[in-house]
Structure 1
Amino acid sequence: MSDFEIYTPTPEEVHSGELGRRMRQFNYRFVGEYGQVQPVWVSAKDEGAGLVGGLRGFVFLSWLNVELLFVDESARHQGVGRRLLEAAEQKARDLGARNATLNTFEWQARDFYIRQGYEEFGRIDDYISGFYSAYMKKALAP
C-alpha cells in the first residue's frame, strides 16, 4: 500500500471499535486472548454522606492501572487515601491483578505511594512548568 491518506476519523468510525479489534487480534498472536478492561472504582464519604475522596482505575492484563486518587484536604492525614488504595488493590487482586502502576506529579503524592509500597521506575523531568511526573509500580501480594 503506497497510496494512503491520513485523516480524522468520524465519530462513527471511532465508536465502531474496529481499530481496537484489529490491535487485539494482532496482540493475540503473541500473548493469546485476554479479557476486557475491568473498572476499579472506590469512594469515601464523611459522616454527612459527603464525598471526601475516591480512586478510579482499571485492571487490564493483570495490572491495576490507577488513573486517579484524590482526597479532600479536610480529610487528608486520616488514612483515607491509604484505605482507598488498599480497597482498590484488593478489588484488583479479586479481578486477577498481580501488579499495580500509576503516575503522579511531583507536587502530588509520590511520597505517599512510596509509603504504600510503590517504587518509582521512571520519571519525565520538566513534564509541566518545571515539575516531573513519576511513574510507579508495585507487586500485589496474593
Structure 2
Amino acid sequence: MLARLASLLLAASAVLVLGVTPSAEAAWATTGVGPATQKAMAMPTGTIPVSVHGVSLGAVGRAYTITWPTAWLQAGRPATGYIINRSSSLLGQALLSGGSCAGLSTSSRYVPVDTMASTQTCTDESLVTLGTVRYSVTPVYGNWRGQPSDWTPAFN
C-alpha cells in the first residue's frame, strides 16, 4: 500500500513538473559594422509662399495662386501634403472656400500632384470680398504636421 501511494505521488509530481508551461524569452541579436544609431525624423517648418497672385472672379470674387518650395524631411522624403491657412482683413482666419488649396473634403489638406517637384502650387478661390489676404503653409507627412510658416505679406 505504501509503495502504491509513493508511485501515485511520484506520478503526480511528474505531471506537475512536466505540465508547467515554461516562461517565454526573447532576444535580439545585432551584427554589422559602423555606428548603430538612428535619429527620429523631424517634420520641417513650412516655408513662406514665394508668390501669391490674385485675379478677379467677377464683381466681388478673386482667385489667388499660391506657390511655395517643397518641404523635405531630413531623410530625403518630401512632404505628402500641405495645410494652407488664409487670413483676410474682412473675414479673419476663415476656412478656404474653394479651389485646390481647400484640399480634400475629409482632411482640408492640399495634396500635390507631384510631391517630388521643387515647388508646389494651388489656387484659392473666393466668391466673396476678402479685402487683403495672407497665407501660411504647414507641411504634412502622413498624420504628422510640421510647424506652419510665417504669414506672407498682405495681398489684394
Greater strand fraction, Structure 1 or Structure 2: 1
TM-score (structure 1 length as normaliser): 0.29
TM-score (structure 2 length as normaliser): 0.27
Higher Cα Rg, which structure: 2
Greater helix fraction, Structure 1 or Structure 2: 1
Q: Which has the higher contact order (CA 8 A, sep 6+)?
A: 2
